[in-house]
Amino acid sequence: MHTLLNASEMLANLADWYQVDPADEPDYPELATLQPVVCQALCISRPEGILLIDAPAHDDNPGGATPIPGYAPPPPLEEQLQAAGIPPESISHLVITHAHWDHFNGLTRQVDGEDQPIYPNAVHYLGRGDWEMIQPALADPQSLQSRTLGAVERAGLLQLVDGEMEILPGIRILPAPGESPGHQIVRIEEADGVLYHVGDLYHHRLEVARPEWACHWAEATAHNASRAAFLAAALPENASILASHIAGFGRIRSTGDGMKWEAVS
């Protein structure tokens, strides 16, 4: 069983993200205006354990994005989980797709001035490349990274991931670098097919239609290779896909001369 959770929404300037001029791309009016993007997490319940993928929290000042004027955020992720009958203490496995703020800023809460893990019984899986990437930030005890991922590490809950890893029966972490050095995705075998949580391998459906559009912060060669490896696996499987910032589940379809994102209800 899986539970999809939305922690926040913000506005993205895709033309800036992809460094393209909207005037050159009249077929894609989404480039000319700010586009709403969600911040989603996914929870998978299995007899052997309960997995949470990413722990985003709403932030009034989203770095790299624009706040939605007058936006009222939903309850924090841990409250949404509790309401769905999943106490945060019951989470046994927690995959952080990558160490960008919007995927880990909901890992801890302040208790008596201390940053405490919200998921105290979960092994937290982070790609080693991202742990190395955030070392300069971890040197500052007040940084977001120190107060979240650092606190998780100090609590003995962090497990660094070097490659493919099966964490529960039929659930595997797969490295997919590019968005960040340690970016990782999750392949989930479900009763009715395969589901992938692809993190930020795609941020918007435009990136499926125009794969040459990648965010300017990504390392392009690795990112393209990760997308190619993912598509080679997921298209023959007719897999369902969840991307952190594309609302709801989808599939990627071949259109003959390219590909498109198709929402799945």
CA pair distance 186, 198, nearest whole angstrom: 7
* Shortest reach from residue 100's CB to Zn ion, in Å: 5
Q: Are 113 and 145 in contact (CB under 8 A)?
A: no
Segment 72 to 111, residues that bind Zn ion, using CB under 5 A: 102
54 binds Zn ion per the rule CB under 5 A: no
C-beta of 248 vs 258, nearer to Zn ion? 248
DSSP code string of 124-165: EEEEHHHHHHTHHHHTSTTSHHIIIIIHHHHTT-EEEE-S-E
CA distances from 77 to 152, 192, 198, 216 (A): 17, 27, 19, 29
CA torsion, ordered 116, 117, 123, 126, to nearest 10 deg: -100
- Contact between 200 and Zn ion by CB under 5 A: the answer reads yes
Query: What's the min distance (Å) between Cβ of 180 and Zn ion?
Result: 10
Q: Does 207 bind Zn ion (CB under 5 A)?
A: no
Query: Which is closer to Zn ion, CB of 17 or CB of 131?
Result: 17
With CB under 5 A, what is the number of residues at the site for Zn ion?
A: 2
Min. distance of Cβ 222 from Zn ion in angstroms? 17
Q: How far is the CB of 140 from Zn ion (least distance, A)?
A: 22
Residues that bind Zn ion (CB under 5 A): 102, 200
